[in-house]
Amino acid sequence: MNVQLPARLDKAAFLDWVERQDGRFELVKGRVVMMVGGSRNHGLIAGNLFLALSHRLDRKQWSVIAEFGLDAEAETLRYPDIVVDRAGGPGGDRTATAPVLLVEVLSPSTAGIDLGDKAAEYLRLAGLAAYLVFSQDEVKAWTWVRSERGEFSAGPGILQGREAVVTIAALGIELSLSEVYAEVEVS
């Protein structure tokens, strides 16, 4: 498949354009970027997270949505693997209105972006309680969790091993890496 990407788009034009496309795209500083498909591990980790979050969070208060739009900053629309947003938004919304948790599963080609550019963009969101990034090649998570003082640390917390647990106090939940990596084969 040969896709001709537009040179530059604003957010409204991108949202209209992307609805007519097969495949995954993001808008980064006005430029359309094609996202590659994920591996089996990527899909399993994202699925495990979706299920775990859906079972732990009150659906009257929170919506857990896979690959949903996020208005990250000027001329940038991202599609995190998992978005936890305030419940009750209109069904036709194409971007999160009040994201509280964002999750990415690393792909080899996106590691620098997920841990760099996206972290910088996401951590500026006022209502965000946590940003989590999970490796698909090893049982490892990078976590940015807002403190009780309302701040994120300068760098991520790093959790490794299936016995590790991510705690997000603002949501009143814990996620064990053994659950996140269930059925996932890593080296």
Residue 132: which CATH number?
3.90.1570.10
Q: Give yes or no for residue 2 having a pLDDT over 70.
A: no
The model carries a pTM of 0.87
pLDDT in tens, 47-60: 999 999 999 999 99
pLDDT in tens, 147-180: 988 899 889 999 999 999 999 999 999 999 999 9
Look at residue 116 and tell me if it is in a domain.
yes
Look at residue 110 and tell me if it is in a domain.
yes
How many domains, in total, are found in the chain? Answer: 1
Q: What is the mean pLDDT of residues 50-77?
A: 92
Q: What is the mean pLDDT of residues 144-149?
A: 92
Q: What is the CA radius of gyration of the chain?
A: 16
Strand order in the sheet with 24-28: 31-35, 24-28, 76-78, 70-73
Residue 157: φ, ψ to 5°: -80, 145
* Structural domain of 104: 37-180
